[in-house]
Structure 1
Amino acid sequence: MAVAFGVVVGGLLTAPAASAATPVAELDPSVVDDFQLKTTDDVWEGLKNDIALVESTGTVTKVTPLSVARSAQHRGSPDLCHPTRLDPRYVPDGFCWDRTDDTSSNYDEKEGGWVPQGLTASHDADPEGTVDGHHLYLAGWYHGTDGGQNEYARVSIVENDNTSVTYGHVLLVTPTAGGSFEATRDIHVDGMVWYGNRLFVANGAELQVYDMRHLWKVGKVSGNVGVDGGSSSALWHQWAMPMIGRYWTGDRGATSRECTPGSGTTVCLSSLSLDRTGTDTLVSGEYRRAAGGRIIRWPLNAGVALPTAKDGSEIGTAEAVRAYTTPVWSMQGVATDGERFYMSGQCPEGWNDVPADHNLAYSCIHHAKPGEAPHVLTMAPRMTQNLSWEPQWGRLWGLNERIDISNGDRVIFSIDVSP
């Protein structure tokens, strides 16, 4: 998702000035009641049956997230390899991708490339902070060609043990009737949360659900997708993960990208994070070029690791419990420690000289409790996207999408914001 701009001054676009009078404002409950994650049983049953049929063919093998990370298909570096502008008071740390993933671009007119968006980790998946005793990180990428977006998507599963970084890429797929599958299309991976065995993937007005218990190693690595001739393949990926269910915030028949941030009841899910303080909630944020994006809390049923159905069933339509509007411009990600929100977005005037090429502008991380005006916590890497809160260590994680095909400019970072 590209970073947007503020107002035009002298031919250049600049960020808005900070306003001490504009708070993160809570919306009236009567408005919040209309925000829903809708679903129906037939969607889940159909996908469940199609997945079972694929697995019955013997053409895919179930594997664990740790095995994908430890395959060392790719090796990153266990440090922040590019300038970040993160305030050293917050003890910045993190890691980098290999050169191929650091420099990939969706502007190749023939083959296209990958751009990162969503972020989650084992600190979301389990209250202890690890899965199978290891710290794992997941990043979501969309694939585009010639400047386009949303052709299909992958998830990187990373192990970072502070001395080495290894990872593998998993294609997100949708099972089809007859015992096969296809690449999930029209998907931006706006945000992700790993919750128990589930992987929630935000996609505009849609919340897709995948499951780590159906993480497949395919039979061969080729450009085909699906089951054919007694084997399986996943568009040059060694692994694939099928969608098990989905929710939508508007009409079921509408396309996943049909939503207007900041208005209406069809909420845009532009980012995701998890809050385990009190009752578990999924926190979504809306990207809006100006101020006024909404932050929404959705209740989670820990017993089934899904949004809490309003009718008490295991799978059903869920209603938002609280919502807010933010004065932060171009909010790309939002996370919370249970008390305050951390929001990645445009830097206010005075924090960042906006260069002629907006791609060179650094982001800012703002913070505020509900009812308070946000203040800049620190500058952050260019085009910072999703944020994720690690409660076990009081660290805030993020990643950025900045495209630089010559030198790279992507990091996965964390800062210590514990009291």
Structure 2
Amino acid sequence: MQVDNIGSVCRTHARRAASAVLLTLAMLVSCLALAPPAMAATVLARISPSTVSTFKLNTVHTPDVTGDTSTDIWERYQTGIQRAEAGGAVTKVSALSVAESAQHIGRPLLCHATRLNTRYIPDGFCWDEGDDRSSNYNNTGTDPGGWVPQGLTASHDSDNADGTINGRHVYLASWYRGKNGSQNEFARVSFVKNTGSSTAYGHVLLVEPTLDGSFTAVTRTHTDGMVWYGNRLFVANGGELQVYDMRHIWRMGSSSERVGVANGVSSARWHAWAMPMIGRYWTGDRQNPRGCQAATGSWVCLGSLSLDRTGKDVLVSGEYRSPAAGAGGRVIRWPLNSSTALPESGSGAGIATSTAEEGYTTPVWAMQGVATDGTYYYMSGQCPPGWNGDVPPDHEDAFSCIHRARKEEAPHVFTMAPRMTQNLSYSRFSGRLWGLNEKINTAEGDRVVFSIDVAP
């Protein structure tokens, strides 16, 4: 069932069609959602405007992470992209063509336990077995490395009037590749076409263009969050916001371990496609964007991303705090310019420093994702003690919870969710909240991409 196409009437019919037993169970579970707030003593608290005004996305005539100040990084990337495309080693393709390539065949519907409240009509899909079971946690020195999903966005975030690409629902997931304990070796994006009865997708390596018309792999990137906005694709990397352009997806000329163009032939580490970065923003230290994991003061950590289109377009970022650090992750709202599809700047220029417009601190522990429907904020993180039985909330086998709160109100658990749920994304077309999880289970898999109905 492709639930993005279901309106309120269909949702009502689906609920009425449930059996008496399921309805009884759903009522019992939903009562849990009315339990006392997850963190009753605190609220989704507003950050003072004077503090918010110190939160910046900095760019323009700034050095890149190598310290090169010879030219503006956006101009340099643009020149590199133009030279690569003019040289004929790469061919531009569409996002939909990558999804429809069926390079990988996933599994429709939810193939693992999720603990999602049946009241909200859970749906979704799964990866193929290789992507479901991949791991990066082997430190033996012989680990071949593996991919782990993090960010999520979809065509419902794009500018298309119906939230689809030529009538197809397309979903994007970001992954980092880890090896021997390193969590940021390479980065990729999956382009998925899900019809409800079939799931197919292809992987695209993220690369950095060079002035000689070639490119290198993007490294030291955790792909913490992702948003598709207009023609842009924003990818969060801690204290860095990377920018890509959906009009520049490249088909490679060959398949090998090499990354770049050699003798007129392109390759992207066994990926059939690559996507070049077009620019960068930083919230703090450009030389060490991952150092914001313990960010304080004006240095904001972009631990997750989502898009709010319920009013003026806004990029919503969330900060992850480790369980040992407790609650207090910040939810920051960054204004967007719809005409440039970039963060808004006070000067009105297309590429310039942008200042946050609003911020909150959350009482949710280990917040991994945050999205809003314009009324409520939905935050994925740890469940309160006791919700996983005897399993501690921070244990890797504990299920996550999605907490819901209005601004300056205490959050309540809206529903339990898959283990290690990461980014969230709200579809204004269907009234559904989407998410994905990263749990590693090399034997059986434990990953899903899910959605639930949060419409009134």
1:361 counterpart residue number: 398
Amino acid of the residue matched to residue 257 of structure 1? R
Amino acid of the residue matched to residue 40 of structure 2? A
1:40 counterpart residue number: 60
Q: Percent of aligned positions with the same letter in both sequences? A: 64
- Secondary structure (helix, strand or coil) at the match of 2:255 reads coil
- The separation in 2 between residues aligned to 1:372 and 1:261, in whole angstroms, is 25
Superposition map of 1:149-160 within 5 A: 149-160=183-194
2:21 counterpart residue number: none
Amino acid of the residue matched to residue 48 of structure 2? D
Of 391, 398, 408, which residue of structure 2 is paired with 1:371? 408
Cα drift, residue 350 of structure 1: 2.6
CA displacement, residues 85-137 of structure 1 (integer Å, 9 cap, x when unaligned): 00000000000000000000012443100000000000001252112321100
- The separation in 2 between residues aligned to 1:303 and 1:18, in whole angstroms, is 40
2:374 counterpart residue number: 338
Cα drift, residue 300 of structure 1: 0.3
Is there any run of 5+ residues in structure 2 with no aligned partner, and where?
Answer: 1-36, 62-71
Cα drift, residue 232 of structure 1: 0.3
Larger relative helix fraction? 2
Please say if residues 38 and 403 of structure 2, whose CA atoms lie closer than 8 Å, have aligned partners that are also in contact. Answer: no
2:46 counterpart residue number: 26
Of 344, 347, 352, which residue of structure 2 is paired with 1:311? 347
1:104 counterpart residue number: 134
1:93 counterpart residue number: 123
Matched, 1:70 2:104: no
- Secondary structure (helix, strand or coil) at the match of 2:289 reads coil
Matched, 1:301 2:334: no
1:6 counterpart residue number: none
- Secondary structure (helix, strand or coil) at the match of 2:247 reads helix
- The separation in 2 between residues aligned to 1:107 and 1:35, in whole angstroms, is 34
Cα drift, residue 395 of structure 1: 0.3
Matched, 1:411 2:448: yes
Of 264, 267, 275, which residue of structure 2 is paired with 1:230? 264
- The separation in 2 between residues aligned to 1:352 and 1:343, in whole angstroms, is 18
Matched, 1:383 2:416: no
2:321 counterpart residue number: 288
- The separation in 2 between residues aligned to 1:331 and 1:390, in whole angstroms, is 20
Please say if residues 104 and 113 of structure 1, whose CA atoms lie closer than 8 Å, have aligned partners that are also in contact. Answer: yes
Please say if residues 285 and 296 of structure 1, whose CA atoms lie closer than 8 Å, have aligned partners that are also in contact. Answer: yes
1:115 counterpart residue number: 148
Superposition map of 1:206-245 within 5 A: 206-245=240-279
Cα drift, residue 186 of structure 1: 0.2
Of 161, 165, 182, which residue of structure 2 is paired with 1:131? 165
When structure 1 is superposed on structure 2, of 156-165 and 131-140 the one drifting more is: 131-140
- The separation in 2 between residues aligned to 1:77 and 1:324, in whole angstroms, is 38
Of 195, 198, 203, which residue of structure 2 is paired with 1:169? 203
Please say if residues 117 and 191 of structure 1, whose CA atoms lie closer than 8 Å, have aligned partners that are also in contact. Answer: yes
Please say if residues 320 and 366 of structure 2, whose CA atoms lie closer than 8 Å, have aligned partners that are also in contact. Answer: yes
Please say if residues 74 and 98 of structure 1, whose CA atoms lie closer than 8 Å, have aligned partners that are also in contact. Answer: yes
- Secondary structure (helix, strand or coil) at the match of 2:108 reads coil
- Secondary structure (helix, strand or coil) at the match of 1:378 reads strand
1:265 counterpart residue number: 298
- Secondary structure (helix, strand or coil) at the match of 2:149 reads strand
When structure 1 is superposed on structure 2, of 123-132 and 109-118 the one drifting more is: 123-132
Runs of 4+ in 1 over 6 A off after TM superposition: none
Q: Taking structure 2 as the reference length, what is the TM-score of the superposition?
A: 0.86
- The separation in 1 between residues aligned to 2:441 and 2:173, in whole angstroms, is 18
- The separation in 1 between residues aligned to 2:38 and 2:371, in whole angstroms, is 21
Please say if residues 299 and 320 of structure 1, whose CA atoms lie closer than 8 Å, have aligned partners that are also in contact. Answer: yes
- The separation in 2 between residues aligned to 1:405 and 1:19, in whole angstroms, is 34
- The separation in 2 between residues aligned to 1:404 and 1:235, in whole angstroms, is 25
1:51 counterpart residue number: 81
Cα drift, residue 256 of structure 1: 1.6
Cα drift, residue 79 of structure 1: 0.6
- Secondary structure (helix, strand or coil) at the match of 2:77 reads helix
Is there any run of 5+ residues in structure 1 with no aligned partner, and where?
Answer: 1-16
- The separation in 2 between residues aligned to 1:315 and 1:128, in whole angstroms, is 29
Please say if residues 239 and 285 of structure 2, whose CA atoms lie closer than 8 Å, have aligned partners that are also in contact. Answer: no
Matched, 1:327 2:357: no
When structure 1 is superposed on structure 2, of 153-162 and 143-152 the one drifting more is: 143-152
Cα drift, residue 309 of structure 1: 1.4
Matched, 1:246 2:246: no
Please say if residues 106 and 126 of structure 2, whose CA atoms lie closer than 8 Å, have aligned partners that are also in contact. Answer: yes
Compute the RMSD of aligned alpha carbons.
1.3
2:19 counterpart residue number: none
- Secondary structure (helix, strand or coil) at the match of 2:157 reads helix
- The separation in 1 between residues aligned to 2:121 and 2:38, in whole angstroms, is 26
Please say if residues 262 and 293 of structure 1, whose CA atoms lie closer than 8 Å, have aligned partners that are also in contact. Answer: no
Please say if residues 120 and 273 of structure 1, whose CA atoms lie closer than 8 Å, have aligned partners that are also in contact. Answer: yes
Cα drift, residue 354 of structure 1: 5.0
